[in-house]
Amino acid sequence: MKTFTLIGFLLLCVYTTRAQRWQGQIGTNLATLPGRSLELTSAWSPHLNQWALTFNAGYTHQNAWGGLPSGMMCDCGVENLKTSGAFFKAGYRFDLVRRAGRVTKVGLPIGVNLIGSHYRQTGTIESFPSGTSVYRSQSVSGFLMGLGITATMNIRFSARWNLDLGVQKFIGFQNRTDYFLFKSFRSHQPGVGLLNSENSLPGLQGIVGLNYRLGRL
């Protein structure tokens, strides 16, 4: 899955750069790196400053983030939680400031993406029946799809380099049924961020995208 996603991303880049009159840019989302995730980003359009088709792909390797919602307690827990998986995002964005052809250093792109996220989670569940610790291993895997709504501020440093600062909100088409502990337990979902299995909350991921514009300007 990881190899297929990355190969598809590279083929799309090669094909699109050959298209006449289209501009492209590639980059990476630095905000995902602390979560052991690599997300490669791209945008393609004949009017890249105003609107673009977007395609991102990436992989998460053994992310350990997870926990109970604030204020919630139980006589149980999860140890050694690890989440891995590949993901893709395909969608559209337009710039609220530059959409009329205005040339500005700072823009405000908003967008929507179809997100596909594969996950494999392993961990050890600890419970305390009769006051005695009991441990059992658990492993789940699956595929989740939904929409990602993005809002960013784009800052141009030069003709080729620019930076996106913003946030992505995930809205799942369905909730996971193979959750750890219970539905409100939060764990990392590749390409999405922390997520529970009850209502797709919080489902937020930061965006710190460093981008490089390709081809002739």
Dig out the tokens for 109 from the structure: 């792109």
- Indicate if the pLDDT at residue 58 is higher than 90: yes
pLDDT at residue number 59 = 97
pLDDT tens by residue, 140-187: 888 999 999 999 999 999 999 999 999 999 999 988 777 666 666 788
pLDDT for res 80: 84
Q: Is 161 exposed, middle or buried (0-12, 13-18, 19+ CB in 10 A)?
A: middle
Mean pLDDT of 1-12: 58
Domain ranges across the chain? 2-213
Asked if 163 contacts 213 with a C-beta cutoff of 8 angstroms, the reply is no
The pTM of the full predicted model, rounded to 2 decimals, is: 0.83
DSSP E strands, the chain:
23-29, 37-45, 51-63, 66-67, 76-95, 106-107, 109-127, 134-156, 161-172, 186-189, 193-195, 204-213
Is 149:180 a contact under the CB 8 Å cutoff?
Answer: no
Q: According to CATH, what is the number of the domain 2-213?
A: 2.40.160.20
Among 171, 175, 178, CA closest to 197: 175
User: CB of 152 within 8 A of CB of 210?
Assistant: no
Q: What are 108-139's pLDDT values in tens digits?
A: 999 999 999 999 998 887 776 666 677 778 88
Q: What is the pLDDT of residue 192?
A: 94
Mean pLDDT of the chain: 85
